[in-house]
Structure 1
């Protein structure tokens, strides 16, 4: 497979010069933009956002080629040990682009691929225990992730310190209610922990995802609650994916498909669900 290199748009790295035994590639086009990351286990070798001024379909392959040229031995993609990709929910077009790219690479390189939930990947950027359940961490904040599902709906992921994640497609009214509850919970936790600051981190509710779905509610939340700016979501995909690869939770390239959580508008129209 031939890739054409384009200039780097954004880069993030934990330690780009550190040697690694087996790198994996993480891909996501959850929203209008996207990102890619090279991982060494759960550690980041390098990660970059796609050019916000270009279509993901045009920018994804060149950015992968750029990372390979700079960080893989000999610049060869066949040095990869696996691929992780965000399969949804998210943008219908973006997910198709990301999944098709991952399928093609996995099949061509004959390496394993894992399907990662988009909302869980975003939350994993601040909840390391989501990527590795046995990972010891003193701070495991509650996280509310919201992504636009259009048509007055929101893809919501609620990740609490207790219990399993709650991932669903909900109405705008339900989203506003849940967001309001998380804001109130955060305020109550801050008030109750004034004399016990060591307890407040686990009670804080962190907000992540698509800022527009938060702003549309007109609800005011504390600036420190928002952690959605400047995050490269492919890093979360890579962290979750690294653990899935380690556990052998792979999907065959042929069977890899997006998980939209709902049929597309075209599918609904064809089935007569919408007129």
Structure 2
């Protein structure tokens, strides 16, 4: 982690292609100027650079006006993550501006929670209390790229478990055990599975059967603004990553889970 001299009114490009969604946004400090989210059917090599140009121009800027770049480093699609990170590093190096990597799952969790909170307004739920957020990106064969966060909405969720690729059945069992160890005063007001929930919904639903708090399973597609907000937090503090050493997060199964999958 390094530090870059703080500038007023920093213009930040955010980019994430870890999923089929090509998400791009431009912020001025922590205020969203423009956002483009399009489904690229994982063919980001064709659409990514034109969308970068479009979102920057629609913000009334040029690439030369950018003061920093935030990029989702995954985990997710290997090819997609690599393309976004490569593009961000190239732009940062060519324009001599700082770049920061952010967790794509963290951005997914934040956006999913905010969308869920908005949908639940007007219902009798403890919206302002702490909620658990479990972002999901399908990794096939019963696996998901996932993590665990806690948040109330309005600010970045706090991380409770690292990004990783996990067997969904085992992961839900771990979450249930973790809930069981919490005293009543620390139980979440709700649990949100968000992201690519379609194939994993039935497994996620089993947590509802034994839990005391409500469980929500909602499909959600990543939006560029959340990677931008996460990156802006670091850039506005003067932090940035080394351009050439910034790498995608190619996470993998733990040894125990890999052995279980082989046995199955």
TM-score after normalising by structure 2 = 0.71
Aligned residue for 1:114? 100
The answer for the alignment partner of 1:58 in structure 2 is: 46
Point out which structure has higher relative CO (alpha carbons under 8 A, 6+ apart): 2
Distance apart, 1:216 and its partner CA: 5.5
Q: Indicate how the Cα distance of structure 1 residues 34 and 140 shifts in structure 2: closer, same or farther if over 3 A, else same.
A: farther
Deviation at 1:34, TM superposition (A): 1.9
> Would the alpha carbon gap of residues 237 and 94 (structure 1) be closer, same or farther in structure 2, given more than 3 Å must change?
same
2:33 pairs with 39, 45, 54, which one? 45
Q: Which residue of 1 aligns with 2:59?
A: 71
Counterparts of 1:240-259 in structure 2, within 5 Å, are: 240-259=230-249
Q: 1:80, 1:219 → 2: CA distance?
A: 43
**Is structure 2 residue 26 aligned with structure 1 residue 35?**
no
The residue aligned with 2:161 is 166
Q: How far did residue 208 of structure 1 move?
A: 1.1
> Structure 1: where are the runs of 5+ without partners?
1-19, 129-136, 186-191, 193-199, 264-275
Q: 1:203 to 1:52 in 2, by over 3 A?
A: same
Residue by residue over 1:28-81, the C-alpha shift from the partner in whole angstroms, topping out at 9 and shown as x without a partner, is 0111232101112332111111344571111111011011222133xx111111
Question: How large is the RMSD of aligned CA atoms in angstroms?
Answer: 3.4
Change (3 A) 1:211 1:252: same
Alpha-carbon separation, structure 1, partners of 2:38 and 2:158 = 34
Maintained 8 Å contact 1:154/1:213: no
Residue 101 of structure 1, CA deviation: 0.7
**Residues 67 and 224 (structure 1 numbering): CA distance in 2 closer, same or farther, change over 3 Å?**
farther
Aligned residue among 185, 188, 192 for 1:206: 192
Distance, in Å, in 2 between the alignment partners of 1:88 and 1:236 is 14
- Normalising to structure 1: TM-score of the pair? 0.68
Deviation, structure 1 residue 126: 5.5
| Counterpart-to-counterpart distance in 2, 1:244 and 1:213 | 34
Counterparts of 1:1-275 in structure 2, within 5 Å, are 21-52=9-40, 55-73=43-61, 76-125=62-111, 138-160=128-150, 164-167=159-162, 168-177=164-173, 181=176, 203-215=189-201, 217=203, 219=205, 225-229=216-220, 231-262=221-252
Count of aligned residue pairs for this structure pair:
219
Deviation of the 1:257 alpha carbon: 1.1
Report which of the two has the higher share of strand. 2
Distance in 1 between the 2:132 and 2:214 partners?
Answer: 16
